[in-house]
Structure 1
Amino acid sequence: MNYSMEIIKKNEALSKWNGAASIFSQSFISSFIPLFAIQVLGASNFQVGLISSMPSFMTMLAMIPGAIWINRLELKKMFTAYTVFAARFCLFLISLIPFIPMTNHAWILVAFIGLMNFPNALATLSWQSFIGDLIPDERRGKFFSERNRILTIVGMIVTFIAGISLNVFEKTDPVPYQWIFIIGFLFGVLEVYYLIKHFEMKKTQKQVKQMNPNMFFAMFTYKPYFYFLLCAILFNFGWQMAWPLFNIYQINDAHASAFWISLFTVANQVSQIVSYKWWGVFADRYGNTMMLFIASMGIGTAPFLTILSTNLYYLTFVNLWTGAFVAGTVMLLFNQLLRVSPDERRTSFLANYNLLIAVIGCIAPQVGVFLLEWFGIHVAMTLSSVIRWLGAFSFLLVFYIEYKNKRKKKEMNPSVPL
């Protein structure tokens, strides 16, 4: 199954519009749900940790049935569109929480976040497999760096405008949050529209229809995938255990308002925009694994640097510093995942990866909150940095193994490129 260059370029353009609409909804969720939970709904540290863990927990539940379902599809576009719409509709439901007659609305938010992330997990898996079919391997590096740059610009503008708007109101007023969640839902509808406009051809040969235990364990015998998986699991544990801690530290310790939260996000995104092209160029030159080492080392500095001060200007600078490494990490992890997943069984390999990372994402934030409650924010954040750096060095080790194997092949066959 081959797409013409005209169709590939059309799908790439539509994917950028689809992503731009998607980032509206995602920016509202990532930037303002924690603020809404803590300042409006009065969520506890445990509930904030659950909000961070819930997406991963629902991903665990969704991956296996989702992979089986998607593997049976000859066309993935409409399945992806339906699941995206279901996930974005939950934003509308979240906007209704203040109207629900219940004393502890934070628990309803936790439930709705869980409800939203089941179809969102299916949509993510389906979109990954879908876009992997549409965009050929040799165009992915350039395409994803350009797409991510555009999405980051859009997300930066949206987050900054929303943060300024929220700052006009009382921090406990739910109404402005309700409006931005409704707007997020409407852009979710636009996201579905651009997704449906993609051109997709039926596969000439159906993928494997069923996943079984033998197939599951066989994935671990494919060494490039297995090595990548081990590194990603270790790094993601350190990465995700600090996610609720950043929100708690910025809001409770540094007393950041909606304006400052949006400013942190904008600073982070500015450096992402500047660095996306750089990561793509150097990944093509030195390989994804080597650049993942550099990116994850930079990500490892974020928790350690954050706890050095509660000064809001300083925290803005820290976000500006770490944003460049976030850009590289997100892009390179996805590109490397596609590279080590065989085309004929891509959905199964993607599902297995997402499932295992979801297990980590479910456990790690709770570990972070546990360490916060028992040992304090400084110990919890420092441990997060240490584990992230261990993950970074695991990528370096894999790079060394890959380089060594290439050297052996070149010795046996001098025509093989190093």
Structure 2
Amino acid sequence: MFFNGRVPSNLRVAYYYDSFGGILYGLFFGFTIYFFTIVARTIGATDTQIALLSMAPFIAALFTFYWSHHSSRRKKMPFLVKVKGIARGLLLFMFLTVNPWLFVIFVILFWFFEMAGSPAYTGIMKDIYPTEHRGKAMGYVRVEMSLTAILATFIGGYFLNISPQSYRWVFPLGAAFGLLSLVSFRKIEVKSDRQIKADNKRFSFLKAIHIFQEDKSFFQYQLIAFLAGFGWLSTLPLYPIFVVDVLHISKAMLGTVGALFSLFWAISYLFWGKYIDKRGPLKTRYLAMLLFSFVSLFYFLASRFPEVGLWLIFMAAVFFGLGTGGGELSRFNYMTRIATEDMVQSYWGIDFTLMGIRGVLAPFVGIGLKKWLGMGGAFMLAFLLTFGGFVLMALFAKKQSQVAFKS
């Protein structure tokens, strides 16, 4: 919306609705998703319930290959609006969640349906933005979305502080913004939807094996991504434990850390979007892995030099923010470049399903590593795995540099 002049004229209508939808999604995120675990704790959720909430997006991601089968055989936009509409519509009824278990159930159901639309979304991005402008256009949308989300979290936090029960009206308010974002997004014309004919072909996980057999490069890419991603995700549950229990950083200072991450997260989209269009998604992918690896390294150093621990955590937040934008955009753009129109949703479904597997397993491994190697040892192992992924992805990118992407 605010970057309309930087987008080619033939893409501006689609970009406008995508952008406006992104701004509304930022409001939705800032009023709801950001506060899921915080509110749950406030109303008495146990450690187990908090763990379930943290794992919910990854559990939902396990089903994305299944959803890709269904969405690829239907018109993408109506399918996306339907499943994401169900997800966000559920949050309109958060006033009914009078105890922690009901709250957890609603959030898990939200993620189940919200993730169901992700393969269709990837297909839509491939359809509406040509390869040479996709990274930049998606980056602009995410700058607007993230800045709006930052503002919304401050407003949402103020509203939620009114009383422990404020979420029962704040979350439905946020859900309304989420539904309005779909109203804007659905106005985008998806040309490939005109040619879709529904069929009743049965779902089979064997299709994933067939895709890997046919596309060896995609298989190699996923192996490397799994290695780096597993290392990175293994320490995610350790970060909050470390900063609170070891460094004793105050909540106010943690808010500063969060704001620093959000600022560089938003800024990164401006850079990475253009960078992907010029240099390609694979180079962006391995640079993002490098940035992520340094997050674990900074935490390791903080465990060894606690007297400067806060400054190292600040550095980690900067690198985390910069890496997040690059990691997200490079994944989207790599899938949309290597996969043909009829296969892009299946490719994304495989990618997200594998992310779900490592997202469910890796945190438990990280907790085990903490007991075995200590906090610092777990951080160092995560650094080595993620940095190893960076090296392998750089070699893979070099190997693929002469291979033409499918259109």
Structures share a fold, TM > 0.5? yes
Change (3 A) 1:320 1:40: farther
Q: Partner residue of 1:299?
A: 292
Q: Alignment partner of 2:393: what SS?
A: helix
Superposed CA offset, 1:38-86 (max 9, x none):
4542431x4433322222222223531x22321221x222221121122
Q: Partner residue of 1:415?
A: none
Whether the 8 Å contact between 1:63 and 1:122 is mirrored in structure 2 is no
Q: Partner residue of 2:270?
A: 277
2:20 maps to a residue whose letter is: W
Change (3 A) 1:112 1:245: farther
Superposed CA offset, 1:102-138 (max 9, x none):
xxx2x44443332111101112222222222222222
- Unpaired runs of 5+ residues, structure 2, are 1-7
Q: Could you tell me the TM-score, scaled by structure 2's length? A: 0.84
Change (3 A) 1:24 1:254: farther
Superposed CA offset, 1:168-222 (max 9, x none):
66xxx52344443233212112112112222234333658863545533221131
Distance 2:296 2:95 in 1: 31
Distance 1:253 1:40 in 2: 26
Change (3 A) 1:115 1:376: farther
Distance 1:207 1:235 in 2: 38
Alignment length, in residue pairs? Answer: 389
Change (3 A) 1:256 1:88: farther
2:139 maps to a residue whose letter is: S
2:171 maps to a residue whose letter is: F
Q: Could you tell me the TM-score, scaled by structure 1's length? A: 0.82
Q: Name which of 149, 152, 166 aligns with 1:155.
A: 149
Whether the 8 Å contact between 1:87 and 1:120 is mirrored in structure 2 is yes
Q: Partner residue of 1:52?
A: 54
Change (3 A) 1:257 1:359: same
Distance 2:313 2:167 in 1: 24
Q: Partner residue of 2:189?
A: 199
Whether the 8 Å contact between 1:160 and 1:259 is mirrored in structure 2 is no
**Which deviates the most, 339-348 or 299-308?**
299-308
Q: Name which of 398, 401, 405 aligns with 2:399.
A: 401
Matched, 1:336 2:327: no
2:28 maps to a residue whose letter is: S
Q: Name which of 381, 389, 395 aligns with 2:379.
A: 381
Q: Partner residue of 2:4?
A: none
**Which deviates the most, 355-364 or 272-281?**
272-281
Q: Partner residue of 1:89?
A: 89
Distance 1:69 1:277 in 2: 34
How big is the shift at 1:143? 0.6
Distance 1:40 1:397 in 2: 49
1:7-406 correspondence runs (5 A): 8-44=11-47, 46-64=48-66, 66-73=67-74, 75-94=75-94, 96-97=96-97, 99-100=98-99, 105=100, 107-163=101-157, 174-201=164-191, 202-204=193-195, 206=197, 210=201, 211-212=203-204, 215-220=207-212, 221-250=214-243, 259-306=252-299, 308=302, 309=306, 315-372=313-370, 376-403=374-401, 405=402
Q: Partner residue of 1:412?
A: none
Distance 1:259 1:313 in 2: 15
Whether the 8 Å contact between 1:34 and 1:247 is mirrored in structure 2 is no
- For the aligned residue pairs, the C-alpha RMSD in angstroms reads 3.0
Superposed CA offset, 1:231-267 (max 9, x none):
2222221222233333444455556676555433321
1:12 maps to a residue whose letter is: Y
Change (3 A) 1:282 1:63: closer
Identical counterparts, % of pairs: 21
Whether the 8 Å contact between 1:20 and 1:154 is mirrored in structure 2 is yes
Whether the 8 Å contact between 1:207 and 1:344 is mirrored in structure 2 is no
